[in-house]
Amino acid sequence: MRLGGVVERVAPRAFRSVLEGLLAAKRSARGAARSTGSAAPSFGHEHAFTSTAAQIVADAREVCFFARIRTRGRNVRRLFKMHDSQTSTRELYDRHVIPTYGRFDLRLARGRGCEVWDEEGKRYLDFGAGIAVTSIGHAHPRVVRVLQEQVATLVHTSNLYYTRPQALLAERLTRLVGAGGKVFFCNSGAEANEALYKLARKYGNDGAPPPPKHSVGEVVQSDTHRFGIVTMLGSFHGRTLAGISATGQEKVKKGFEPMVEGFRHVPFNDIAALQSAVDVPGTVAVLIEPVQGESGVHPASAEFLRAARELCDERDLLLMFDEVQCGLGRTGEWCGWTSIAPDVMPDAVSWAKGIAGGFPLGAIWVNERAVKLKDGTVKKLCDLLGPGTHGTTFGGTPLVCAGASEVLAVIEEEGMLANATALGAHALTVLRAISSPLIAEVRGLGLMIGIELAADFAQRAKLSEGKSPALFLVEKLHDAGLLTIPSGTHAIRWLPALNVKREEIGEAAAILARVLGAV
């Protein structure tokens, strides 16, 4: 016995009649299940029902809908209420969600393209895109269609089996990097970086050590126990224990000591400091965000990326790029680093955020170059993490991989890299033209843009103690209908979808100028 879930139309109704409709539907479904001896049917199994429901819930607070349900062989129309309006979303969070986030008081309900609406129906221009996640905007029809089809075909199988969507996505990602290699799928940026740390450790443990450097007559030992990873100050690599250990910011580590062993940080873009750090015995890898996101959008210099590659080659270290935020089109190129130094090729890359347009997916790509092992054999780097060494239940399900492949196809076929390049440059121009003493600098690459606020913003805006200029401004922009993302205390980010329109950039810039003018 199954409930059919075809949504016919949406209509506002009073709560009482809605509840009655829902209860009646449940009663008759249960009765039918009893009479046939089967288990009570679950609404959740109806893909047409659930996929449309998400959109409907978003439409308004008091939204109800009619569904045709099949019970005792008859089609019956019932009215359903989508959520309990007795308790506000905010109250439910306060009671039931662990408060790891200092959330803004916005309750967002639905989105389309670069626009989102809150539960009251107020419209916002979305220039955060999650945090660089909804890379082709909200509810792109091509991705909606593919996800709906895949959810009705095969959602999950475990990684004990082969599934075609994962294979096709791996092939596509490898093509986008432009060098031979292989991909591992997981669920988030932190988890993708975790795979990079494990790759580096495996390389240190299994790889043959580089020949020792010595002068004639000096006795030196090979560096056989290598697990040190050098990362950058100001970086962000995720919230797992290894992620905060890798991250070059004290604030994420506080209260969680001791850190995972082996991570050392050097100033970003400082070649001399990097050189000293990689010369420390036991070093096995360097991890760099080609464009630092969480610190307020700071691109690496081309010289720094080239020097890092050279140092890694000379010392037989892995060069790994964290492209979780800056990768897959955000900078106007598939790979963030190719916007800076296209001649550099890393040994491994991590992705997440925009890869599946909002569905949770992380991934790493690993170069296929040959590696000499301690036992004298040779293996491809991308085969070092062999069977049993790493895994994750949900990584690379057919559902998420089908969605991600479509997101990347849309970026490619709808010319979104060119759009990100052109409109990113346009955004920099319009932002730099805003004449306000409250802005110190505007910087960025493609549609990854940082707006640095003046050091004396707090005094000029007469801010009360404890509120950072970035949070203050982001909230003012919310009131004016624009979502942006704070970075630290003095920067905000624009990270709109890669298909943002010129008019939307103009509208966002006008809102920013107006808000700054009124501060």
Ligand X SMILES: Cc1ncc(COP(=O)(O)O)c(C=O)c1O
364 part of the interface to ligand X, by CB under 6 A: no
Nearest residue to ligand X on Cβ basis: 189
Judged on CB neighbours under 10 Å (0-12, 13-18, 19+), 242 is buried
356 part of the interface to ligand X, by CB under 6 A: no
Q: Which of residues 181-220 bind ligand X (CB under 6 A)?
A: 188-190, 193
- The CA–CA distances, whole Å, from 284 to 200, 317, 319, 354 equal 6, 5, 9, 29
Contact characters 124-143, ligand X, x per CB under 6 A: -------x------------
Selected from 46, 194, 289, 504, the binder of ligand X by CB under 6 A is 289
Nearer to ligand X, 202 or 330 (CB): 330
- The CA–CA distances, whole Å, from 259 to 237, 262, 335, 510 equal 14, 9, 30, 45
Judged on CB neighbours under 10 Å (0-12, 13-18, 19+), 508 is buried
Contact characters 54-73, ligand X, x per CB under 6 A: --------------------
Q: Least Å distance between CB 177 and ligand X? A: 17
Q: Least Å distance between CB 465 and ligand X? A: 28
238 part of the interface to ligand X, by CB under 6 A: yes
Nearer to ligand X, 49 or 304 (CB): 304
Q: Least Å distance between CB 246 and ligand X? A: 9
Residues 6+ apart with CB under 8 A from 502: 423, 426
Selected from 237, 298, 476, 490, the binder of ligand X by CB under 6 A is 237
CB atoms within 10 A of CB 206: 16
Residue type, 248: G
236 part of the interface to ligand X, by CB under 6 A: yes
Nearer to ligand X, 5 or 189 (CB): 189
Q: What is the dihedral of CA 100, 102, 104, 107, to 10 degrees?
A: 20
Q: Looking at 154-162, 287-295, 453-461, 467-475, which segment touches ligand X (CB under 6 A)?
A: 287-295
420 part of the interface to ligand X, by CB under 6 A: no
Q: Looking at 31-39, 304-312, 320-328, 457-465, which segment touches ligand X (CB under 6 A)?
A: 320-328
- Site size with ligand X, rule: CB under 6 A: 15
Nearer to ligand X, 68 or 253 (CB): 253
| Nearest residue to 297 via CA among 415, 445, 438, 180 | 445
Nearer to ligand X, 169 or 196 (CB): 196
Residues 6+ apart with CB under 8 A from 47: 5, 148, 151, 152
CB atoms within 10 A of CB 239: 14
- In angstroms, the CA 226 to CA 229 distance is 9
Structure tokens at 491: 């920067």
CB atoms within 10 A of CB 267: 14
Q: Least Å distance between CB 381 and ligand X? A: 21
Nearer to ligand X, 190 or 328 (CB): 190
CA atoms lying within 13 Å on the CB side of residue 395: 22
Please identify which residue in the block is written with the tokens 């709560």.
15
Nearer to ligand X, 111 or 238 (CB): 238
Nearer to ligand X, 189 or 204 (CB): 189
CB atoms within 10 A of CB 156: 12
352 part of the interface to ligand X, by CB under 6 A: yes
User: Where do contacts with ligand X occur on this chain (CB under 6 A)?
Assistant: 131, 188-190, 193, 236-238, 289, 293-294, 322, 324-325, 352
